[in-house]
A and B are shown apart, each in its own frame.
Chain A
Amino acid sequence: MTTEIILQAVATGLMMGLIYALIAAGLSLIFGLMDIVNFAHGEHLMLSMFSSFWLWSLFGLDPIFSIPITILLMALCGVLTHYFLIRYILKAKMLIQICATFGLSIFIRSIAQFLWTPDFRNIDKPLLEGRLEISGIFIGQPQLFASLVCLVAFVLLYLFVTKTETGLALQATAQDRHAAEILGIPSDKMFAIGWAIGLGCVGVAGGMMANYFFIFTDVGINFALFAFVAVALGGFGSIIGCLYAGIIIGLVESLGGLLIDPSFKLLYVFAIYLLVVIFRPQGLFGRY
């Protein structure tokens, strides 16, 4: 076990972590806004990867250039999800809310499997290929680019939520939707915007990952599970917490796989979740 191998694992973990962070940020935004956990988050990620794949295979658009289209499609998907499903279950019991988004996840995954079969696909010869070597550590170019894009998207999301008027309106709705409504912030519209942005984040992550990841209908499950863990770790509803949490998860996954046993990677991450929710239910960075 040399330092180089460990550094390699750290680099891989960091790059994956940034992607987990962005996916989790989308989940966290929606949760913080309306107290609904999107159990179909992984399926939305899968959809965004497929959108990127089909844009490449039908129109020859490279994933780097089709990113804006994927983001728009996912934002549209978020608005549709809100208007056709979430709107009706806002006042329902939590149990019904969980069942509804869970139903959505089964529905999307099986429709995708029905339409596109469970085959594994990947994008042949994308623009970004190959790897860089920095003093003995190999970094895949698409991975590096994807994590940088995710970081930029994360910063933009953070600035949007904390600095712009719409972002502040979102925060107001998240804190108290009735008070916000009295002040003239239509909560229904805010929820739709929240869903659009939340799934837009997923669109960025999925579109970038389509560059180097296998694309298949069950791809989202593990990412969604990691997103749940990241959101709990960072504190439900806290966006900046997601960044740290995503990176921690990425590091635990790759270092745990390297140092202990790679076949139990998922379990290390799950163990973090269980420890965090038991001993620090407000999350590592949450405050309440």
Chain B
Amino acid sequence: MDKLLAAKSEPLWNTDKRIIFLISGLIVLLFALPHFGLNSFYLHLMIMIFMHAVMAQSWNVIAGFSGQISLGHGAFFGIGAYATSFLYVQYGISPWIGIFVGIILSGFAAILIGIPMLRLSGHYFAIATLLIGISFQIIFQRWEWVGAASGVWVPMTSGDSWFALQFHSSKMPYYYIFLVFFIITFFLVWILSRSKLGYRLRAVRDDPQAALSLCINVSNYKIIAYVISAMIMAPMGSLFAQYILIIDPDRVFNIEISIIVLLITVLGGIGNVWGPIVGAAILIPISEYSRIYLGGTGGAVDLILYGLILMLICIFRPEGLISFFPKNILERKKQR
């Protein structure tokens, strides 16, 4: 506790050299990867991994750092998806602007939801967010202005277009766009976890009473974490909408989105910057392959696996798979 409060922001370069090499190597590898002749299935797989890693990273900020379990995080994904598609279809505004509109709208939604809800704690907050997530789905299903249950269909451009953010000839541009967002989010959350704000959030998570007694405004910090988390989630909804070009409330506000971000984070390691990445890199291939080989439609085999993995992790490794890595390498600062 004392250590958490006394800590100053820790600059990123104060990291074990091996980790710095690992990160730079990974970035170079990921940028070069599409040129090794990946077919479009593998590109799709990588895109899904990036997308889910970012979504899980977003959940990690609220649940891992500030300790509030949100079971309705799909709402922010949907807001992002609707913001870009709707602005483009109705007013012809480029999705690039739509992404930022989505981020801002999500942030506002997070403030509106967060101010009353984050006074609650534990189970109450988890159930409240679960209900709010479902409410969003119900409202959008019946909201005629945004296409009600049939959703928004983004008209296809004739060729690739950076303005409309649509690429039909290859998945390569999508790969790089998602990759850039993935890297930005990683560094953002990493900086956050090393910053004063990050330490205070963890203080709030570990002992709200003690944090309060040290003049940390607990509910303000929770709201800040919630807003940051929502703002990370929204662009993924926007990009996903541009990637599949059809969105409807059942797809983008589905409770499954809220489930999978939780699952990935808990699997990888909650409260750890690496957790969501490890979780997504393991879970997304399992899910895509199980859909291919075990039959996807109606069989729900991937969901059986999700449930089983989640329970097993909770029983045997509550710290997540990342805890198999030696902690001192991940966390250790350069010796001065």
Q: List A residues at the B interface (Cβ < 8 Å).
A: 31, 37, 85, 88-89, 92-100, 102-111, 113-114, 117-118, 225, 228-229, 232, 236, 263-264, 266-267, 270, 273-274, 277-278, 281
Contacts and interface: CB of A to CB of B under 8 A. Distances in A.
Given A85-B311, A107-B307, A107-B311, A270 B134 contact: yes
Contacts of A263: 138, 142
Contacts of A96: 266, 314, 318
Contact of B270 (A31, A95, A102, A228): A95
Contact of A99 (B116, B124, B132, B310): B310
B148 to A, nearest CB: 10
24 contacts: A37-B123, A88-B315, A94-B123, A96-B266, A98-B69, A99-B310, A102-B71, A103-B308, A104-B311, A106-B303, A110-B300, A110-B304, A225-B130, A229-B131, A236-B123, A263-B142, A264-B142, A267-B139, A270-B135, A274-B128, A274-B131, A277-B120, A278-B120, A281-B124
Given A110-B306, A118-B298, A263-B138, 12 more contacts: A88-B315, A92-B318, A94-B123, A99-B262, A100-B315, A103-B314, A104-B307, A110-B303, A236-B123, A267-B135, A270-B135, A274-B117
Contacts of B309: 103
B315 A98 contact: no
Nearest to A100: B314
B143 to A, nearest CB: 11
Interface string B300-327: 1101101111110111001000000000
B92 interface: no
Contacts of B138: 263-264, 266-267
Contacts of A108: 307
B308 A107 contact: yes
Nearest to B307: A107
Contact of B127 (A114, A232, A267, A278): A232
A103 B307 contact: yes
Interface residues of B, number: 43
B134 A228 contact: no
Contacts of A95: 63, 67, 69, 270
B224 interface: no
A146 B20 CA distance: 65
B246 interface: no
B311 A103 contact: yes
B70 to A, nearest CB: 11
B299 interface: yes
A281 B67 CA distance: 20
A106 B270 CA distance: 20
Nearest to A43: B307
A279 to B, nearest CB: 10
B123 A98 contact: yes
A90 B311 CA distance: 13
A111 B13 CA distance: 47
A98 to B, nearest CB: 6
Nearest to B262: A99
Determine which residue in A89, A92, A98 has the highest number of CB atoms from chain B within 10 A of its CB, and name it.
A98
A70 to B, nearest CB: 23
A107 B116 CA distance: 32
A106 B142 contact: no
